[in-house]
């Protein structure tokens, strides 16, 4: 039993969908679960629809029509007639989306977000499942919301592992080919939840864990895990194999090639993960397994943009002690702000934050009532795993550095953009 995950770039248009067939021809398609993301930039488009809808801007309706036309263009390129049932199925999904937004009574942004953005995956998997059937790859379309059960923390739901395992084991045919959605699940009231942005990798890990899969393969538009993002850094190198622990470190610091939550369920059952190129499916890519050293051993560069650097000090110049730090972390947890770096002195405490859900402005007045607060918005956090002096020197060149920190294996720097 294997699990494949195809991200948005790997199904971005009709040619990319056709290439999925090429990958299956090369790798085989029996005893396989395929997890699929929304097509191309669909999730971004749906996020814009949510923003307009929440602002009561009727322009969201035109955006839905534009997104509809984008998917119909893909269908027209895949099928030679609109008489195929897939056209009706996709129309029904867009009608469901429109009806849901009309009937919605909630004013909770995160709830509306999950109910809306999930349609990207539902539409993509419907198209791909129907196309594979059309090309002779008989498969079963599975609604991930019937299988992955979560709590009610919308946009960042936690998996109920026992319920999820019971559902997956019962409903997945381990001998066949199944197509399902990444990123989405459902709560106890059957409302849609999402597992965090770019969470389709995590979905693949969940299925692999619950099914006891032999492997997970993530198909990307890069040859594997690189030592830096080629969109940001020049002269990147392929890491041919890394350990689970190193993959967790890289993902935690923000390496975009693997979702941070993906590795843990795989590590528990020692299921190998392969990151491979969908353009060259026979290439080895990167393997993530137990006990593998980083190979080749070199500095790994990660950058996270649009961060917030916050520095707190007590109003009466007293020491920043454990109970104050505990209070701050409780607030950060409550307002869903992810901490990417911590540094403290006797009278100050600094954190670099990822404001994934845009809650910082709600938290700020609460912090100001308790502390003296200084902050910088829109900074970048640079991380170098296995740093060298040359790596640090090149990274710091011409940067306006606000904070830096060095531990045994990791160098971090916060800089103004």
What pLDDT, in 10s, does the model give residues 160-178?
A: 999 999 999 999 999 999 9
Joined together, the tokens standing for residue 110 give 């995160």
Query: In this prediction, what percent of the chain has a pLDDT beyond 90?
Result: 87
Confidence at 294, pLDDT banded by 50, 70, 90? confident
Which residue matches tokens 């770096």? Answer: 341
Q: What is the pTM of this model?
A: 0.92
pLDDT of 231: 87
E strands in 315-399? 338-344, 348-354, 371-385
119-156-361 Cα angle (round to 5): 105
Is the per-residue pLDDT at 317 higher than 80?
no
pLDDT of 260: 80
Range with the lowest mean pLDDT among 180-184, 293-297, 321-325, 329-333? 293-297
Is the per-residue pLDDT at 293 higher than 90?
no
Q: CA-based diameter of the chain, in Å?
A: 74
Query: In this prediction, what percent of the chain has a pLDDT beyond 70?
Result: 100
**How confident is the model over 75-99, as a mean pLDDT?**
97
Is the per-residue pLDDT at 373 higher than 90?
yes
Is the per-residue pLDDT at 357 higher than 80?
yes
pLDDT of 276: 96
pLDDT of 340: 94
pLDDT of 209: 98
Helix (H) / strand (E) element for 308: namely strand 300-314
Q: Which distant-in-sequence residues (6+ apart) come within 8 Å of 380 by Cβ?
A: 303, 304, 305, 306, 307, 414, 415, 416, 417
Q: Which domains does the chain have, with CATH numbers?
A: 2-221 (3.40.1160.10), 300-416 (3.30.2130.10)
> Left, alpha or beta for 191 (phi > 0: left; psi -120 to 50: alpha)?
beta
Say which residue, 51 or 320, is predicted with more confidence: 51
Q: Residue 36 and residue 130: Cα distance in Å, rounded?
A: 13
Is the per-residue pLDDT at 257 higher than 80?
no
Joined together, the tokens standing for residue 244 give 């689970």
Q: Residue 387 and residue 298: Cα distance in Å, rounded?
A: 8
Question: What are the CA-CA distances from residue 40 to residues 12, 45, 186, 206, 280 (Å)?
Answer: 4, 10, 24, 23, 19
Confidence at 291, pLDDT banded by 50, 70, 90? confident
Q: What are phi and psi of 414, to 5 degrees?
A: -105, 130
pLDDT of 323: 84
Q: Residue 375 and residue 261: Cα distance in Å, rounded?
A: 29
Is the per-residue pLDDT at 197 higher than 90?
no
Q: By C-alpha distance, which of 187, 182, 26, 21 is closest to 117? A: 182
Mean model confidence pLDDT for the chain? 95
Which residue matches tokens 């607030």? Answer: 331
pLDDT of 301: 95
Confidence at 345, pLDDT banded by 50, 70, 90? confident
Say which residue, 130 or 222, is predicted with more confidence: 130
Confidence at 13, pLDDT banded by 50, 70, 90? very high
Alpha-helical regions (H) of 135-199: 161-171
Is the per-residue pLDDT at 318 higher than 90?
no
Coil/strand/helix, residue 110:
helix
Is the per-residue pLDDT at 154 higher than 90?
yes
pLDDT of 252: 86
């Amino acid at each position: 039993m294997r699990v494949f995950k195809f991200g948005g770039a790997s199904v971005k248009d009709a040619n990319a969908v056709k290439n999925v067939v090429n990958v299956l021809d090369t790798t085989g398609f029996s005893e396989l679960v395929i997890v699929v993301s929304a097509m191309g930039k669909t999730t971004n488009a749906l996020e814009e629809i949510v923003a307009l809808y929440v602002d009561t801007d009727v322009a969201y309706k035109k955006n839905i029509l534009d997104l509809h036309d984008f998917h119909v263009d893909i269908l027209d390129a895949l099928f030679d007639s609109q008489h195929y049932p897939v056209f009706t199925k996709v129309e029904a999904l867009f009608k469901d989306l429109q009806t849901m937004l009309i009937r919605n009574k909630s004013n909770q942004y995160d709830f509306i977000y999950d109910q809306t953005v999930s349609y990207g995956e539902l539409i993509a998997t419907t198209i791909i499942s129907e196309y594979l059937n059309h090309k002779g790859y008989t498969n079963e379309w599975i609604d991930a919301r019937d299988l992955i059960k979560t709590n009610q923390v919308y946009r960042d739901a936690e998996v109920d592992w026992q319920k999820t395992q019971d559902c997956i084991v019962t409903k997945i045919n381990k001998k066949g080919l199944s197509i399902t959605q990444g990123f989405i699940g459902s709560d106890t009231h059957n409302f849609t939840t999402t597992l965090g942005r770019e969470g389709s990798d995590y979905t693949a890990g969940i299925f692999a864990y619950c099914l006891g899969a032999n492997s997970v393969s993530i198909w990307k538009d890069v040859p594997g895990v690189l030592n830096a993002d080629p969109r940001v850094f020049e002269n990147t190198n392929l890491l041919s194999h890394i350990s689970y622990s190193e993959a967790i470190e890289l993902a935690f610091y923000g390496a975009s090639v693997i979702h941070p939550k993906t590795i843990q369920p795989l590590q528990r059952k020692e299921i190998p993960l392969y990151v491979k190129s969908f353009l060259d499916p026979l290439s080895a890519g990167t393997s993530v397994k137990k006990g593998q050293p980083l190979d080749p051993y070199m500095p790994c560069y990660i950058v996270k943009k649009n961060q917030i650097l916050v520095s707190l000090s007590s109003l009466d110049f007293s020491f920043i002690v454990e109970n104050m730090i505990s209070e701050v972390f409780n607030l950060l947890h409550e307002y869903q702000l992810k901490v990417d770096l911590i540094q403290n002195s006797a009278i100050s405490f600094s954190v670099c934050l990822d404001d994934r859900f845009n809650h910082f402005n709600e938290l700020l007045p609460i912090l100001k009532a308790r502390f003296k607060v200084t902050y910088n918005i829109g900074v970048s956090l640079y991380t170098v795993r296995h740093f060298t002096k040359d790596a640090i020197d090149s990274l710091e060149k011409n940067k306006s550095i606000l904070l830096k920190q060095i531990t045994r294996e990791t160098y971090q720097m916060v800089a103004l953009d």
